[in-house]
Structure 1
């Protein structure tokens, strides 16, 4: 076994962004995204909103810790439910459709986080392993 110093050029895995910053990004990003989609016209199906907010949740999850995923999904769901799904302007719980929407948003945030961690770990392993 041969010891090597990590300060000899190897970089550590990137540090995730703080959870409150991720949640602030989810709040602002969801508001801007839903407002932008509302300007496109009367989108009858909330699927467009769900796909866009799931992409936002996955993107935010890529730089966040796993513990930020439920809050990110919850904030995205609030904007989806309040301004993207009928009745617009009211927070309601519709049962199975809302469970599906919340599951999609949570899954997207978790998938973004897991893929980012796997890529970071693999690249860190390649940097510190001997050639």
Structure 2
């Protein structure tokens, strides 16, 4: 007779988000490397490409971070975008409509990554709780 048993017993914990300083270190190093790579490959005259790449980086960092890390992550990515991805390189400037849009895109990407990650973990935890019960033998007679 074959008896079916579940291999994974017990609950698996939801992964803990990374600490905020670690996420910000990743944003600093990742944005620096990404902007340097883009400047070497396509130059500084393509801010749309740099914004897209940094938004993807921010979303990826958001997947493993807390919501509290999102504003700092967005600002760090924006600093590299503004300071080194547009001419003149090395000069920070503020053009209200453009930079507000860039900050909103970077913050939105970070929050989107964090939100999607939290929803995925919550859904997986819900499915583990609802389908992880012990198997019942088929059609056992009831005792009275």
TM-score (ref. length: structure 2): 0.83
Q: Deviations over 1:81-122 (max 9, x none)?
A: 000023321011111000000000000000000000000000
Q: Deviations over 1:9-66 (max 9, x none)?
A: 2112111111110000000000000000011032422001000000000000000000
* Other-structure match for 2:137: none
* Other-structure match for 1:76: 77
Would you say how many aligned residue pairs link Structure 1 and Structure 2? Answer: 125
1:50-69 counterparts in 2 under 5 A?
50-69=51-70
Q: Does 1:22 align with 2:23?
A: yes
Distance 2:120 2:82 in 1: 33
Distance 1:106 1:125 in 2: 28
Distance 2:96 2:86 in 1: 13
* Other-structure match for 1:124: 125
Q: Please tell me whether the aligned partners of residues 44 and 86 of structure 2 are also in contact (alpha carbons under 8 angstroms).
A: no
Distance 2:41 2:22 in 1: 29
Q: CA RMSD in A?
A: 1.4
Q: Which has the higher contact order (CA 8 A, sep 6+)?
A: 1
Q: Please tell me whether the aligned partners of residues 71 and 107 of structure 2 are also in contact (alpha carbons under 8 angstroms).
A: yes
Distance 1:129 1:122 in 2: 11
Bigger Rg over Cα: 2
Distance 1:91 1:56 in 2: 21
Runs of at least 5 residues in structure 2 that lack an aligned partner in the other structure:
1-8, 133-144
Dislocated runs of 4+, deviation >4 Å: none
